[in-house]
């Protein structure tokens, strides 16, 4: 799990400083003091966030008749 803070204005602040709507795209800041200073500069406020780790997707088995798609021929 990733714990940290994000800066919220009308939307969330992204990694490049622009506004993003999704919390998952927002820049995660791990230091509270750094988040406070970023919020002060941008005119927003700090929101504590806990992001769960995404489960890894399992690769689907490929059927034998699809070998030509993998260029194994």
Please report which residue ranges of 1-73 form alpha helices under DSSP H.
Answer: 32-42
The yes-or-no verdict on residue 2 having pLDDT over 70 is yes
State the pLDDT at residue 60.
Answer: 76
Strand stretches in the chain, DSSP E:
2-8, 12-13, 19-20, 45-51
- Give the three-state DSSP class for 32: helix
The yes-or-no verdict on residue 58 having pLDDT over 80 is yes
User: pLDDT by residue (tens digit) across 9-48?
Assistant: 888 888 888 888 888 888 899 999 999 998 999 888 999 9
8-state DSSP, 26: S
State the pLDDT at residue 71.
Answer: 66
**Domain-by-domain residue ranges, the chain?**
2-53
Which residues are within 8 A (CB) of 1 and not within 5 positions of it... i.e. 6 or more apart?
50, 51, 52, 53
Phi and psi at 17, nearest 5°, equal 95, -5
């Amino acid at each position: 799990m990733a714990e940290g803070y994000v800066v919220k204005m009308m939307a969330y602040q992204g990694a490049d400083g622009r506004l993003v709507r999704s919390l998952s795209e927002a820049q995660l800041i791990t230091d509270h003091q750094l988040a406070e200073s970023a919020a002060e500069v941008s005119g927003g406020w700090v929101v504590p966030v806990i992001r769960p780790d995404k489960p890894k997707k399992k690769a689907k088995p490929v059927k034998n008749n699809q070998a030509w798609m993998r260029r194994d021929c």
